[in-house]
Every structure is written in structure tokens, then in C-alpha cells.
Amino acid sequence: MKMDNKKEAPKAKTKKPAAIEETEVKKGPKWGILIPLIVILTICGSVGGTVLATHFLAPKTEQAGSSVKRNAGTGKISDDEKLVSVPKFVVNLATDDSANTQYARLKISILVENGDKAAEAKKNMAVIRDAVINVMKKKKATDILSNSGSVTALKNELKDGINEELGETLAIQVYVTDLVVQ
């Protein structure tokens, strides 16, 4: 037997494919880039949402608001605007005690933009009365009579309730022409 005094050559390091080397270099997301990117996208989304909301909602608000401002400033109704009278009715008010029931007798008039809107209001009188009842049944006598601003707040709630129930801005202003709370 012969002995080879040859030394075995050291094993060469195996070279890893390039794809594996790249994944080892990238050890996770780069937070230095990711966080500012998220902040910028959030700010852009907020600004964009605000611009879109004011663009689509502002014309409706300005139209109703300009008429209300004009009427509130002068107290007069323009030639185009019409008042629609809602027949008088009685509503149960909310109470804490079921033995002490309270009522409100209410008569209102609704200011609308023109004759077409007045005809629409007369056509939908049952819906308007329902909206008024839904607002009033949540009120207590103390809510209505508590201070001088409470009737104004009630008128705004009635206007908003009517417009919401009809799904459009029909009522520009609500006037309370008769109110008795018992």
C-alpha cells in the first residue's frame, strides 16, 4: 500500500446565488423611508378629503345659508319665497314620569324657495308632520321653555328634521306661529 502524502485541497467556499445574497442584505423594511411616506400620504389624504367635501357640500350650504341670512337680516320674505302653513296639531312630549304626561300644541309655517317647492311641501305634508312629531316627541317641556334661545334651537331642529326626512333642502326656515306646552 502506498501512502499518499498528498494533502487534500481545502474545500472551496460555495458561492451563493445572487438572489440569496440580496435577501440577506435586506433585513427588513427601511423605517427611515416608510414612516415619512406614511405621514405624507396621511396629510395628502386629509387635505384632499377636505377639499372634496367642501367642494361638493359648500354650494348647497351657501344657497340655503344666503337665503336665511337675507331673511334674518331684513325679516322680510322675498317675492319668490313662499310660506307653507302646517295645520295645528298636538304632540306628546318626553317625560321622566309616565304619570305626568305633557303635551305641546304646535303650529308652524315653512319658508320655501318658490311656488314649485311650496307645491311639493303641500304634496308631502304627511311626511313633514311626521318629521315634526319625531323631533317633538324627543323633547321635554323644560327643553322647549328653558331659555330664550331654546325656541330658536327647536326651529333649527325642526328645519333639519324636515329636510332630512324629505331627503332634500326644502325648508329654508321654520317659523313657530303657535306653541302651547302643558
* The model's pTM: 0.56
C-beta of residue 144 within 8 angstroms of C-beta of residue 157: no
Count each helix (H run) and each strand (E run) in the chain, helices first: 6, 3
Handedness of CA 106, 111, 114, 116 (dihedral sign): negative
Would you call 108 exposed, middle or buried from its count of C-beta atoms within 10 A (0-12, 13-18, 19+)? buried
20-45, pLDDT tens digit by residue? 555 555 566 677 788 888 889 889 88
Looking at the domain covering 82-181, what would its CATH class be? alpha beta
C-beta of residue 77 within 8 angstroms of C-beta of residue 111: yes
67-106, pLDDT tens digit by residue? 444 445 556 778 888 899 888 988 888 877 777 788 888 8
Q: Nine-digit cell at 18?
A: 445572487
